[in-house]
Structure 1
Amino acid sequence: MSEPIEFYFDFSSSYSYVAHRKIEDLARELGLSLHWKPISLGAIFTALEHRLPKMGSAKQKYIWHDVERSAAEQGLPYVWPDPFPMNSIPAMRGFYFLQDQDPALAKTYARAVFAAAFGEGRDIARPDILIGIVERLGFDPETFKTGISSEDIKTRLKAETAAAQEKGIFGAPTFLCRGEMFWGADRLASLEAFIRKTGDKR
């Protein structure tokens, strides 16, 4: 069986939003499964002593412009969330909780969270935003609230983040396939070329 593509992301990562539809399309085109892997960028950045560029700096202005431009290239609506960056931990716990119930539902939920955060500029740290998403997906909100507060799910996100760090992942989106790492929404063409090239040798 072909190895999957692992998609490491954080719901607070604007470039992960930019990449999420295209990586799904690419995996489908290549006939590979796509494993969604939410990780806490905040924890990774803290461990690496990485700091975001200061607001108003040349780098920050460029990145914000590039994100908007990149989203437009993918045909994605884009609205900067307020506040940004936001606390994405509850949303990512929600993904893992739903994944344990129904993997397909978890992916639908992930798309909806990305759309709310960056397509509509909503604060996904707010419980009512997440509850509204799961209600629209037909999942019981009380079960969801209880699930994302469980120690098992809290530990799961920490463990997934730690495992990603052990693999050398330092940012998002990051894609792993056949032992090769690709970082950034702009590396999907390189990922595709690598998969097609190595597939010919198998």
Structure 2
Amino acid sequence: MVQPVDVRVFFNFRSPYCYLVSKALFGLLDGYHVNLVWRPLGGWDGRSPPERAKKKVPLARQDIARWAKKMGIPAIPPPITTDPTRAGAVSLLAEECGVLQPYVIQMMMAEWADGLDIGQAEILLDVGARVGLDKVEVSAAMDDPARREQLHANWHEAEELGVVGVPTFVVGDQIFWGNDRLEFVRDHL
């Protein structure tokens, strides 16, 4: 039997471009013999550093507004201080529990459609409950040192591969960077 092709997905919950691809990325599994390898990142990993982001935010917000309008989805930026690390840590729990897809979609909607700070415990607990995660497990996962270390390890893996931003999809030696690159991933598969 032919083994599925690994598609590594480097994803940071703070990225608006990850929001734009959050629903479609799971469609990679439809019709293709692939194994989606989830690689969430935390903090500023995979994103422009804070000093560059200050200059980039106005342009990015214009770009996101255009994309959202074209896609027919809301785009309400969350507070600029939102830290995605906890959301990334809880995504590892969601993956373990078999609810990664609804978790990612719901978390990104909370952040970018509702403009909420997904670094706040009450938001994480609410989204977790909506997708069937246990409240105690979500609370523990948020600040679990092992999960945070996994987020850092994911970034080190990304850097070694040559990943410079998110979302990025890695298939073998091919790197596809950007929310609008899924067609190229499909073509490659």
- Normalised by the length of structure 2, the TM-score is 0.86
Query: Rg: which structure is higher?
Result: 1
Q: 1:122: how far off?
A: 0.8
Q: How many residues align?
A: 187
Q: 1:25: how far off?
A: 2.0
Structure 1 partner of 2:52: 51
Structure 1 partner of 2:130: 136
1:88 correspondence with 2:89: no
Query: Where in structure 1 are there 5+ consecutive unaligned residues?
Result: 196-202
Q: 1:41: how far off?
A: 5.6
1:156 correspondence with 2:119: no
**Quick one: structure 1 residues 41 and 180, their matched pair in 2 at CA, closer, same or farther if it must change by over 3 Å?**
farther
CA–CA distance in structure 2, aligned partners of residues 127 and 41 of structure 1 = 16
CA–CA distance in structure 1, aligned partners of residues 120 and 67 of structure 2 = 27
The CA deviation string for residues 107-133 of structure 1, in whole angstroms up to 9 with x for no partner, is 321111111001111110111010111
The CA deviation string for residues 68-121 of structure 1, in whole angstroms up to 9 with x for no partner, is 22123333222111x125200011111113323x1x213321111111001111
Q: 1:49: how far off?
A: 8.8
1:67 correspondence with 2:64: yes
Whichever structure has more helix as a proportion of its residues is 1
1:36 pairs with 21, 34, 38, which one? 38
- Normalised by the length of structure 1, the TM-score is 0.81
Structure 2 partner of 1:180: 174
* Structure 1 counterpart of 2:53, one-letter code: L
CA–CA distance in structure 2, aligned partners of residues 64 and 38 of structure 1 = 23
SS at match of 1:112: helix
CA–CA distance in structure 2, aligned partners of residues 147 and 19 of structure 1 = 25
CA–CA distance in structure 2, aligned partners of residues 181 and 41 of structure 1 = 22
Kept in 2, the 8 Å contact 1:39–1:164? The answer is no
